[in-house]
Amino acid sequence: MSTTSTYTHTKVFKLESGKKLRKVELAYQTYGKLNAKKDNVIWACHALTANADVLDWWKGLFGNNDLFNPEEHFIICANVLSSHYGSTSPLSINPTTGLPYYLAFPEVTIRDMVAAHRLLAAHLGIEEIKVLIGGSLGGQQAVEWAIEEPSTIQNLILVATNAVHSPWGIAFNESQRLAISSDRSFYANKPDGGLKGLKTARSIALLSYRSYDAYTATQLESVNEKTGSFRASSYQNYQGEKLCNRFNAYSYWYLSKAMDSHNVGRNRTSITDALGSIKANTLVIGIENDVLFPISEQQFLSKHIPDAEFYSVKSAYGHDGFLIETDVLTNVIGNFLKESTNKKIIKLHKTA
């Protein structure tokens, strides 16, 4: 059973920057039922342009016949602040003006997104999360949450993500924002403002999501005579238009800035000390040829999160492998969770 809901936080929501949002709304979806002990919660954090329907965008890992299924688990995914799919965003109405925020929307950080998730969890009466999982920007949320509430998260699954967003990643995001801002309509304060720029931004992003091998496998020409109208060119245009049909430039702009803000060491002793405070049983998964989140970033996470396990995945798809290689993820994550349960039983047995 799937339920789509919106939680409205009526109190003032203070952002990490000190700015405030009034009447924050969070769109979220749940699947399955919360059991009597409230200990069957699987919380999925979504990536940049995804939504709260995790059974749609993470098929093969989440679903009725998959590892995380609604028959056993109470699955939750909440749409992040700034996103296009129902939560408070640049297209939401500013209570002060009665008009959409657009570029007057305050910048939101990963930590702000997590603070909103925590409010939702409290609203739902959830005090323990059996598994917190996320990839990419979703993984950034998950690691922040595990630091903020170490006793709440029992098992933590981090996929193709990092402890701090790299200069390389920030440069990719800035290039995309330059493309969006070069579209003069972005400053027109209309829902469809900046769409031409967004199309270009998506084309840039794709080069960081996929790999040389992936393009060779899917976009290679079958003839030698062509001098134009290449498959790779058509693919870039198609994917750009596809995003424009379902997203908006303002949310994309703010979400990319949120990703840039990610640094678990900010206003804490250090990055390593922050990671060292995590108590959850942790599995870190990296994609070997990920250009955007190189595997060294996942190795860093596993090295500094106490007793974390690390697994590398081979994929021709680069960063997008975290959404595509679900058979491998199912096997690796399933085995890890079984081992974690056994460790807990052994611990309890020894204590007794």
What is the identity of the amino acid at 295? I
Which one is catalytic: 290, 302, 304, 320? 290
Residue 105 structure tokens: 């929307």
**Rounded-to-integer distance, Cα 52 and Cα 100, Å:** 22
Helix (H) or strand (E) holding 6: strand 2-9
DSSP 211-222: -HHHHHHHH--S
Would residue 136 show up in a list of annotated catalytic residues for this protein? yes
Tell how strand 13-14 and strand 20-21 pair up.
antiparallel
Given the structure tokens 């402890």, which residue do they identify? 163
CA distances 175 to 194, 241, 246, Å, are 15, 18, 21
Q: State how far the Cα of 42 lies from the Cα of 77, in Å rounded to an integer.
A: 9
Structure-token pair, residue 293: 């989140």
CA distance 350 to 135: 35
Lookup result for tokens 């059973």: 1
**C-alpha span between 120 and 223 (Å, rounded):** 55
Distance (Å, whole) CA 175 – CA 170: 9
For tokens 């060491």, the residue is 265
Which of these is catalytic: 73, 262, 319, 340?
319
290 labelled catalytic: yes
CA of residue 169 relative to chain centroid, distance: 15
Q: What amino acid occupies position 11?
A: K
Neighbours of 9 (CB within 10 A): 17
Q: Which of 80, 61, 60 is nearest to 138 (CA)?
A: 80
Return d(Cα 44, Cα 62) in angstroms, integer: 10
Q: Which residue in the list 87, 89, 136, 302 is annotated as catalytic?
A: 136
Residues near 276 by Cβ (< 8 Å), separated by ≥ 6? 304, 305, 306
Residues involved in catalysis: 136, 290, 319
